[in-house]
Amino acid sequence: MSRKEYRAYSTLYTWGRAKNYRLGRRGTRDDSCQPEPIKVFDNCTIQQVACGGGHTLVLLDNGSLYSFGYNQYGQLGNGTKVDSPLDASRDISNLSTKLTAVACGRYHSAALDVNGAVFTWGGGKNGRLGHNDEQTRTIPCRVTRLPRAHKIFCGYHITAAITDDGLYTWGWGEHGQLGQGSLEDSYGPRKVFFGSDNLVIAQLACGDRHCLVRAENGDVYTWGSNEYGQLGIGQYNEICSSPVLLTSLSGMMVTFVAAGDRHSAAVTNTGSLFTWGCGSEGQCGHGDYNDCDMPSLVESLVGVFIIKVFCGHNFTVALSKEHEIYCFGNSSYGQLGDGSKSSCCIPRKLLYSIPGPIDITCGHFHCTLWTTVEEQDERNDIEIRARTESVDSCTTSCSTGIPDEQQRKLEEKISSLNAKLMHMVSLNERVISESLLRLQEELNKDGRETLEGILCD
């Protein structure tokens, strides 16, 4: 019986600054000015990649977690403080439960497991690990006194989680970037309050000293430092320590937000890209090097349907619906990925053909891109066909020089073998099907995850 199976295979690309092995490559300190593939994960499926100040985390769909790059503060989570290239990386997901998401700050990291528990490691200054101290931790440690989390995020020196009970933040708070109504550090998770109790948070973006929240209804809230206009509230040099509704985007359905060092970006459901904040390196893409205190349309991308945007330290990367990549801002280390180290204030399109759906993340001065394609696996078909064809070929080869009675008996044996083979295949399918149905019934009785949920984990 013919059966088709599909398996997803991922390819990881990195570019930008190479210092401390943050691009994953051993034996070179040369920056990369264009995306270059990393072969280690070619036979795996990547679920998520996160970039920090100088380190990178790669989470596979089976829950395995790999890290490489800068490790002075233990942010790689491998129990050391030694920088590491990718080929020396090992699975650090030595937890009893499966990891589902990761995030990177400048000197620390975080992970979320399937049960909603949050783990952090790396530099603990200002309480950014959430363990009520400033200790450095070189392996993942669970954050206590936190409701079940659904999503996690890291700013340069803060950590945040969207939980059953809303948004919680902790870490450095000097510029109001925790959104807790004060300028104090928080050594453990504390809830952020919004004007509406019914607000459903879809996404959080954290920069160096400011944050943006995208609500499911398309509204955007900002808080933190506004030194360069990065809050988008129409003025400069103000600190907002509590969330402020970004009224300049009211009436638009914002579908994605991003925060760089001191600039911000948002994408709407019409594919429009807006940027604001510090523009000294051209990172706002408006054709100049001026700061901008309110969201402004990136006019050169009008006509291109943008679906996501990502911000590095002083550069921006936009991804279109057609899997096209546009970059602008500083490129001193090749982080724009266009083959040069020349900066620009107008988006440049990367001229690379990368198959499959694309996702991107930006670190301080480096970027990663990963793509996953499904390949049809016909090994079961081939096995069954091979067995059948081998038997048939025997019939043909034996059809000459063998007495008719002997050949007839041989053909009967062949026919019997074929029948048994097909019966075994059918039996295995029935057993598997019945087992899956029993499992589904048990799960439904317990009120836990459905079978589809398990398969998606």
Among the listed residues 390, 284, 426, 436, the one whose alpha carbon sits nearest the alpha carbon of residue 347: 284
**Amino acid identity at 116:** G
d(CA 386, CA 409): 22
- Please tell me whether residues 295 and 272 are part of one structural domain: yes
Q: What is the mean pLDDT of the chain?
A: 85
Q: What is the CATH number of the domain that holds 38?
A: 2.130.10.30
Section 373-387 average pLDDT? 44
- Please tell me whether residues 428 and 304 are part of one structural domain: no
H or E stretch at 426: helix 404-446
Q: What is the CA radius of gyration of the chain?
A: 27
- Please tell me whether residues 339 and 429 are part of one structural domain: no
Domain boundary among 344, 377, 410: 377
Among the listed residues 41, 11, 5, the one whose alpha carbon sits nearest the alpha carbon of residue 384: 5
Q: Give the tokens for residue 216.
A: 């499911």
d(CA 404, CA 368): 68
Report pLDDT for 196: 80
The values of phi and psi at residue 124, to 5°, are: -105, 10
d(CA 447, CA 444): 5
Among the listed residues 188, 198, 249, the one whose alpha carbon sits nearest the alpha carbon of residue 222: 249
The values of phi and psi at residue 383, to 5°, are: -60, -50
Q: Give the tokens for residue 332.
A: 């001193």
Report pLDDT for 411: 53
The values of phi and psi at residue 431, to 5°, are: -60, -45
Domain boundary among 344, 361, 377: 377
- Please tell me whether residues 312 and 411 are part of one structural domain: no
Q: With a cut of 70, say whether residue 4 has pLDDT above it.
A: no
Alpha-carbon separation of residue 371 from 8, 31, 44, 159, 363 (angstroms): 10, 22, 11, 27, 18
- Please tell me whether residues 359 and 396 are part of one structural domain: no
* 11 — pLDDT class (breaks 50, 70, 90): very high
**Residues β-bridged to residue 37:** 13
Distance of CA 120 to the CA centre of its chain: 17
* Per-residue model confidence as pLDDT tens digits over 302-331: 999 999 999 999 999 999 999 999 999 999
The pTM (predicted TM-score) of the whole model is 0.81
- Please tell me whether residues 88 and 78 are part of one structural domain: yes
d(CA 228, CA 235): 9
* 357 — pLDDT class (breaks 50, 70, 90): confident
Report pLDDT for 9: 86
- Please tell me whether residues 264 and 394 are part of one structural domain: no
* Per-residue model confidence as pLDDT tens digits over 228-250: 999 999 999 999 999 999 999 98
More confident residue, 69 or 374: 69
Q: Give the tokens for residue 73.
A: 């503060």
Percent of the chain whose pLDDT exceeds 70? 81
Contact 360/369 with Cβ under 8 angstroms? yes
Total domains in the fold of the chain: 2
* 56 — pLDDT class (breaks 50, 70, 90): very high
Interhelix angle 404-446/379-397, rounded to 10 degrees, is 170
Torsion of CA 89, 361, 146, 244, to 10 degrees: 160
- Please tell me whether residues 340 and 434 are part of one structural domain: no
Q: What is the DSSP string of 338-375?
A: SSS---EEEEEE------S-EEEEE-SSEEEEEEEEEE
Q: Give the tokens for residue 360.
A: 């991107």
Contact 391/417 with Cβ under 8 angstroms? yes
Domain boundary among 341, 361, 377: 377
* 435 — pLDDT class (breaks 50, 70, 90): very low
- Please tell me whether residues 272 and 407 are part of one structural domain: no
Range of the domain at 105: 5-377
* 39 — pLDDT class (breaks 50, 70, 90): confident
Q: With a cut of 50, say whether residue 198 has pLDDT above it.
A: yes
Contact 268/255 with Cβ under 8 angstroms? yes
Number of neighbours of residue 394 by Cβ within 10 angstroms: 13
Among the listed residues 26, 90, 16, the one whose alpha carbon sits nearest the alpha carbon of residue 53: 16
* 416 — pLDDT class (breaks 50, 70, 90): low
Residue whose pair of structure tokens reads 């083959």 in the numeric block: 339
- Please tell me whether residues 212 and 245 are part of one structural domain: yes
H or E stretch at 386: helix 379-397
- Please tell me whether residues 352 and 384 are part of one structural domain: no
* 442 — pLDDT class (breaks 50, 70, 90): very low
Q: With a cut of 50, say whether residue 130 has pLDDT above it.
A: yes
Section 109-125 average pLDDT? 98
The values of phi and psi at residue 286, to 5°, are: -95, 10
Distance of CA 417 to the CA centre of its chain: 50
d(CA 64, CA 58): 8
Instruction: Give the Cα-Cα-Cα angle 27, 33, 34 (nearest 5 degrees).
Output: 100
**Amino acid identity at 95:** L
- Please tell me whether residues 116 and 213 are part of one structural domain: yes
Section 200-214 average pLDDT? 97
d(CA 277, CA 369): 25
Alpha-carbon separation of residue 98 from 68, 101, 345, 403 (angstroms): 20, 10, 42, 63
* Lowest-pLDDT range of 80-94, 142-156, 425-439: 425-439
Q: Give the tokens for residue 40.
A: 């280690």
Q: Give the tokens for residue 119.
A: 């783990």
Q: Which residues, at least 6 apart from 322, have a Cβ–Cβ distance to it below 8 Å?
A: 305
* Per-residue model confidence as pLDDT tens digits over 65-109: 999 999 999 999 999 999 999 989 999 998 889 999 999 999 999
Sign of CA dihedral 167, 173, 177, 181: positive
Sign of CA dihedral 113, 214, 348, 232: negative
Please tell me the chain's helix, strand, coil percentages from 3-state DSSP, rounded to the nearest 5.
20, 40, 45
Contact 93/79 with Cβ under 8 angstroms? no
